[in-house]
Structure 1
Amino acid sequence: MKKLLLASAIAGLSVGLTTPTMAAEDNYEQYQAAIDQRGDSGVSGTAIFIPQNGEMTVKLNVENADGMSAGLHKGICRYAEDSDGAPDLLAFDDDPLFELSAVDGNESSTTIELSAEGLMGDPQSVAIHDGSSIVACGNIQ
């Protein structure tokens, strides 16, 4: 596990990404990623990923996003507006891999069929959508 974390950290640094924080809790690990506002949206927060039994619970705590939709996307936030010329592995896919529950108040919780290995595989991001606009985004890996 230490080798996987070290490799993930090195890979994240080599492409200028922030790697998720991992903390041991009970019999599982959880991963965390910061969700940063885009433009002057005022929307920001945290995504926590809790793997258990081959599934992943995604908990969002997001300010100023009540009623907005969220999704887990292939690619990184840097290319959310324009993936032209982006390396295939990093290009942001507008169609989410997984739709997440809409933000209710400041929170959202969704369980999806995704393992920790799937989460930490190819670069992915969490995006908060206000209609068709991405108002906040956070790189997972």
Structure 2
Amino acid sequence: MADSEPLLFRATLGVLRPVTEAATEAVKASSGQTVRVEIKRTSGNVKRMSLYWVLLRIASEQLSDAVDGVMSTRLLHRRLKREYGLAKEVTSKRTGEIIDWDYDSISFASMAEHERAAFIDWTVARLSGWIGCDITDLRREAEAA
């Protein structure tokens, strides 16, 4: 899975309709233009993965005043992957210093469904702690979005 919310569509009556907010925004941004679409079957629990990206969107809005700069969903996604151990350190052979992180080293697509579920449950708990709200309230807010 990429480091951004997937553009998910559902075929209804011969028309592709956006399922995620990112897909809706992409359609709005391309109004009147011809775009290329590549169709791929999704793997894993799409509803759970959509919930994950909605959680990140809610958290980025709530936490934007807590940081200098922009608190984006991509930044949150990368930080959560790193804290959970899904990103590998890229270290200098000469100094041993961590130069960067490889966020693509473990992709969601290669994880078993129960591992993705555990990561998302952990994410809800982590984000609710950062925001300062109840886990149930955060999950309910995300599911309603």
TM-score (norm 1): 0.24
Structure with the bigger percentage of helix: 2
Structure with the bigger percentage of strand: 1
